[in-house]
Amino acid sequence: MSKVIMIQGTMSNAGKSLLTAGLCRIMKQDGYRVAPFKSQNMALNSFITEEGLEMGRAQVMQAEAAGIRPMVCMNPILLKPTSHTGSQVIVNGEVVGNMGARDYFKYKTRLIPEIKKAFRELEKIADIIVIEGAGSPAEINLRENDIVNMGMAEIADAPVLLVGDIDRGGVFAQLLGTLMLLGEDEKSRVKGLIINKFRGDKTILDPGIEMLEERGGVPVVGVIPYMELALEDEDSLTERFRETRIGKIDMAVIRYPRISNFTDFNVFEQLSEVSVRYVTSASELGHPDIIFLPGSKNTIRDLKWMRQNGLEAAVKKLSDEVPVFGICGGYQMLGKEISDPEGVEEGGKIRGMELLDVMTELKREKTRCQTEGKINKVEGIFSELSGMDYSGYEIHMGCTTKEGETPLVLIGGDKGNVYGSYVHGIFDRGHIASAIIKALADKKGLTIDKGVFEDYKNFKERQYDHLADTLRAYLNMEDIYGMLNDAHLK
């Protein structure tokens, strides 16, 4: 039987995902077979496994840190918001349907057997399972049917590390308040407290830590410094959306209300001379060197949003001189028309942006697959991409065609400035990202100091090692291993 430890937080974005990844990497380095687990994840960034099943990207990132392939049993329940009050419910990688928040609250306890089954599958391959919670265990209105925080800790009989975010202020109140709102049985599971994202001299914190331990009755096992890491974070609260810096090469990503899989553009963050900005208005858009239209959980509604706020007109105007690149839902928007005869999203049909000569029909059956091969011949500014090796995955509701035939991997417009593809992760190969940056730099007559991207997989491996090194330096790993309470691990 695997040994387990669980990371819970005082709030969303306290750092649970990265700390889980860091512990996975440390334990891998120490010679253990380790795996991540999150019973329920709410996210718009998802991934397709080798088996064609859908799971949250946070657990994919953690699996990479652990050095194992992503498996859907690491994230048996995935909720993909479709509105402010409803989500698409995915269980064991398959779509169950759309549910409102109240309906799902009543339904979710029926999924406990699926959670237990997935956890047992993971136990077959792991010495240690690092479990991630969601939000906060002190959300007392949700405690009754909890399956992701203390409810999951009880299912797995896991000791809990509680993480607070000092960068957002009030970390002592966060930690003490959370402990006070837990039941006695729940509080007894909390074996250590972690203060995350600290900037400054730790000795200033020491009097507060002493009082925190005295009042909370739980030891502080680490004060983690604020880390600059280029790894995936919680998609709903990512700090990437706050980027306003304009680099020598300025990339603008349209941030629609239902943006999804914007991890496609993380690869470009490797170079300090390149900026990746997420924009929500025509005034924010400015005059970038390239515009990306990312995936969307509701393509028709997000296209209407662009149309209403002026972004569509701004993008179309700039497309005469600035490359526009759509991925998945963004690719669908660039075509002539999107029709929805089965009512998958809005029903009916809508005129597209008319920048690509393609038509899309939404279908109830979701396309889910990994894919690799060579990019077909393309024209225009990115013609050097022709014939390059690519790999990635497709995840979309709908079929896009050109004159009755399904288009190739990458399709370009007649003007040579507009491109579209269904392949998520198509830029992750270093040579593809490098070719795009080089083409944009050549157009501006610029030389980029580091014009060659390393493969994004190799880049992330170095990031995971850096994360692990930092956590080793600031966490009491001896105490954490002790919490696992397994003689064969000592």
Mark whether 431 is an active-site residue. Answer: no
- CA 318, 323, 327, 332 torsion-angle sign: positive
Region of poorest pLDDT, from 123-137, 146-160, 303-317, 448-462: 448-462
Tell me the mean pLDDT in the region 59-77.
97
Tell me the mean pLDDT in the region 23-35.
98
pLDDT of residue 243: 77
pLDDT of residue 488: 42
Region of poorest pLDDT, from 323-332, 467-476, 478-487: 478-487
pLDDT of residue 67: 97
pLDDT of residue 225: 96
Which of 287, 328, 396, 399 does the annotation list as catalytic? 328
pLDDT at 490 over 50: no
Strands annotated E in 118-180: 128-132, 160-165
Tell me the mean pLDDT in the region 311-321.
96
On average, the pLDDT of the chain sits at 92
pLDDT at 426 over 90: yes
Each residue of 278-297: pLDDT tens digit?
Answer: 999 999 999 999 999 999 99
pLDDT of residue 270: 82
pLDDT at 482 over 50: yes
> Rounded to whole angstroms, how far apart are CA atoms 99 and 386?
43
pLDDT of residue 489: 40
Q: What would the DSSP string read from start to end of 308-350? A: HHTHHHHHHHHTTTS-EEEETHHHHHHSSEEEETT-SSS-EEE
pLDDT at 265 over 50: yes
CA atoms within 13 A on the CB side of 232: 28
Which of 24, 73, 396, 424 does the annotation list as catalytic? 424
pLDDT at 154 over 90: yes
pLDDT at 11 over 60: yes
pLDDT at 395 over 70: yes
Q: How confident is the model at residue 277 (pLDDT cuts 50, 70, 90)?
A: very high
Better pLDDT: 375 or 488: 375
pLDDT of residue 487: 41
**Amino acid identity at 455:** D
Tell me the mean pLDDT in the region 221-248.
80
Residue 217's alpha-carbon distances to 43, 193, 214, 435, in angstroms, are 34, 10, 5, 56
Residues above pLDDT 70, as percent of the chain: 96
Q: How confident is the model at residue 248 (pLDDT cuts 50, 70, 90)?
A: very high
Tell me the mean pLDDT in the region 317-344.
95
pLDDT of residue 234: 58
433-460: burial string, b at 16+ Cβ within 10 Å, e else: bbbbbbbbbeeeeeebeeeebeebeebb
| Rg of the Cα atoms in the chain | 23
**Amino acid identity at 280:** T
> Rounded to whole angstroms, how far apart are CA atoms 162 and 26?
18
Give residues with Cβ within 8 angstroms of 417, minimum separation 6. 319, 320, 321, 322, 323, 324, 380, 381
pLDDT at 74 over 80: yes
pTM value is 0.86
SS3 state of residue 252: strand
